[in-house]
Structure 1
Amino acid sequence: MKSTTHRLHTLSAADIPDLIALSDSVGWDYDEAEIRTILSIGTVFGHKDDSDRIVSSAAIIEYEEGLATIGMVIVHSSCRGLGYGRDLMEACMKAVSGDTAIMLIATPDGEPLYQRLGFVTATHIHKFLRRGDTPVVPPAAKAVPYHIASMEEEETDLERVVELDQGALGSRRSLFVQMRKAQAARCLVAKDANGTVVGYGFAVQGPINLIAGPIVARDADMAIQLLCALIQNHDGQVRIDVPDGPEAFLAFLEQNGFQKASRPPVMVANAKSLPQRNGSYFAIGAQIYG
């Protein structure tokens, strides 16, 4: 029987310290900056007890073209088996229209629940970690007319990055790009001979990992050049999550000290598959963002 002292709430910035503590309790590394980004672009639900202590969480982020993503699904170990996971998921799913495709990246513990709620596996993500401090040296770039540069503040750069991201993901998410750029330690673009942005990459420093992503590029060579520039001179641990598909990029990671930690399923509900993508998505921003 569910405890009557645990009630579902919509959470706010005032709840960030408790959300960080809840994340720590399961070995996840959400920090204040990440949670503020999530709250700014999505909705976070959680159960609280009578003392306002948060014992669960889940977030849903709705993008601009019929796609939403769920993440940060956590139930404290003291409250498992009480149905809170289902409560959270149902709240998230009801927060968007029934014709909105909802995606998530599943943990082994959560996958059975997601299946019962109608989610099906659409593809997978490859989670890589690199713990070494030796430089990653990119191969010589192909003889193509582009160069890697810091992303400029001009609106034209931002709008072009949003357009590239839209083609890569299959849904427009301009607010996410804007907020993730503000959070990132490094924002790079690939520009062609005319100065047009043809690829981009962000790197965000978390409590443990430098997270490389999103990376959107027209081919594996450009993705590798962006990645190496993003992590250049970084002597800590790097994490990168790569969608199924880019075999040359995956091979480069495995040959350069990145070790595959897991290959979780990407699941979708309210649709038979993910939105159509154009093959330019080489690394996601984080699992919560899809």
Structure 2
Amino acid sequence: MAHADIAAGLRLCRAAQWNQLEDDWRCFLELKGSGCMLAERDGSVIGTAAFLRYGSSFSWISMMLVDPRERGAGIGSRLLESALDALGPQSCVRLDATPLGQPLYCRHGFVPEYELDRAKATVAAERFHPLPGAARPMEPEDLHRVLEFDRQVFGADRRELLVSLYRRAPKFAWIAGQGTLLAGYSFGRPGYLYNQLGPIIAESAAIARELVSHCFFRHDGVSFAIDVPEAAREWVPWMESVGFEVERPFLRMSRGEIRSHGLPERQFGIAGPEFG
């Protein structure tokens, strides 16, 4: 895939009612170790598969899209195989599967890790009561320590991705902690259908609530999605109390030995199934 093909990728996103924008596709073309495969018929793009390499820890596959008119012909399988071949002898490959995609991944040796829930809401600011001083907007000088800490929590180095998210949407980037002590942080990005808030990393559900409350208090009437890992379901009742509805599941899957799971108990929202 080249930059000239992004329009075709967006067309497939719209056909599937997916949320990605041009900047999301650019990540798979511009971040180190990234790439995207295309399937074509008669000069038209009919399928995609994208990947990212998160250092030597693991790789990530996403954007598995096939034109609805072309499904059932094995195109998705061939795209997945092409992406896996491009990654080479990577010890571990991971992804977040929709229910529709799970059988395909199982056939290619992926096994379940844990479930995730997508929750969505149109924010009503009056429902959020952020505590003064509990969180503040992230500043550029905060990024170094956030990125170092994130490597421990995520289990891999995704600094390029997080810097990209910060540049795209600094208004969604918040940090919690006192002095040099880091208690949590969030990033986010705009989307075609809704904004995605995540990753949301925190020492506790209480800190995660403060990060979200400070952010959402400033975005009345705006639609957001948060993808919640199984280990963080403790805060879903609070999310529902402020208007979120759990809409659909994903399944984290992997192929190969995982060197580090990071600290899943501190991951209250992921960056999205595109990025993990």
Query: Is TM-score (shorter-chain normalized) higher than 0.5?
Result: yes
Structure 2 partner of 1:103:
94
2:69 to 78, 98, 107: 78
Residues 22-43 of structure 1: CA deviation (Å, up to 9, x unaligned) = 1111111211122122322221
Structure 1 partner of 2:225:
239
Tell me, which stretches of 5 or more residues in structure 1 are unaligned?
1-10
Structure 1 partner of 2:22:
32
1:223 to 197, 205, 208: 208
Q: Distance in 2 between matches of 1:286 and 1:274?
A: 19
User: What amino acid maps onto 1:172 in structure 2?
Assistant: D
Tell me, which stretches of 5 or more residues in structure 2 are unaligned?
none
How far did 1:73 drift? 0.4
SS at match of 1:285: coil
How far did 1:248 drift? 3.3
How far did 1:278 drift? 5.3
Q: Distance in 1 between matches of 2:260 and 2:239?
A: 25
Structure 2 partner of 1:257:
243
Give % identity.
26
SS at match of 1:279: helix
How far did 1:272 drift? 6.4
- TM-score, with structure 2 as normaliser: 0.91
Q: Distance in 1 between matches of 2:122 and 2:139?
A: 30
User: What amino acid maps onto 1:173 in structure 2?
Assistant: R
- TM-score, with structure 1 as normaliser: 0.87
SS at match of 2:149: helix
Q: Distance in 2 between matches of 1:100 and 1:279?
A: 24
Structure 2 partner of 1:149:
136
How far did 1:169 drift? 1.2
Structure 2 partner of 1:289:
275
Deviates more, 1:230-239 or 1:66-75: 230-239
User: How many residues are aligned here?
Assistant: 272
RMSD in angstroms over aligned alpha carbons?
2.0
1:57 to 48, 51, 55: 48
Q: Distance in 2 between matches of 1:140 and 1:90?
A: 49
Residues 84-133 of structure 1: CA deviation (Å, up to 9, x unaligned) = 11111111112224343111111122111100100011001110011353
How far did 1:273 drift? 8.6
Q: Distance in 1 between matches of 2:260 and 2:17?
A: 29
Residue pair 2:60, 2:94 contacting (<8 A) in 1 also: yes
User: What amino acid maps onto 1:181 in structure 2?
Assistant: Y
Residue pair 1:101, 1:274 contacting (<8 A) in 2 also: no
Highest Rg: 1 or 2? 1
Query: Is 1:280 the equivalent of 2:272?
Result: no
